Amino acid sequence: MFNWYVGLLAISGVVMIAMAMVENGQSRASRLINGILGPIYLGYAVYLAFIFEGGSYLIFFQAFILPVLLVVDFFRNRKPRQKLTETQKAWRAHQRSEQNS
């Protein structure tokens, strides 16, 4: 159980750091929260895995609610890819053919 907890903390930290680095329509506050909490989660996982020498510890699975909410927010707020109409596709093809000539 301990190893699963440490692994989930590390994965959560890495995912939050990655989301903080991507500008994908996120608000500045959302990126800041990810940028602050990601290293905290990852650092705590490293501490538990390599520095912690045993004894008693508490497992808070409630700590994983926040990363899940941040991932949902990340995908909800990303910018959709622009879909080109047939006219726009034809115009771009025409421009490319003019450049290659």
Percentage of the chain beyond pLDDT 70 is 97
pLDDT band for 101, please (50, 70, 90 cuts).
Answer: low
Per-residue pLDDT averaged across 48-60, rounded?
A: 86
Q: What is the number of other CB atoms lying within 10 angstroms of the CB of residue 49? A: 14
Segments making up each domain of the chain, as ranges = 2-100
Say what angle helices 2-21 and 65-76 make with each other, to 10 degrees: 30
Per-residue pLDDT averaged across 26-50, rounded?
A: 92
Joined tokens for residue 2: 């301990």
pLDDT band for 84, please (50, 70, 90 cuts).
Answer: confident
Look at residue 7 in the predicted model and tell me its pLDDT.
94
Q: What is the dihedral of CA 49, 54, 58, 62, to 10 degrees?
A: 10
Look at residue 20 in the predicted model and tell me its pLDDT.
93
pLDDT band for 36, please (50, 70, 90 cuts).
Answer: very high
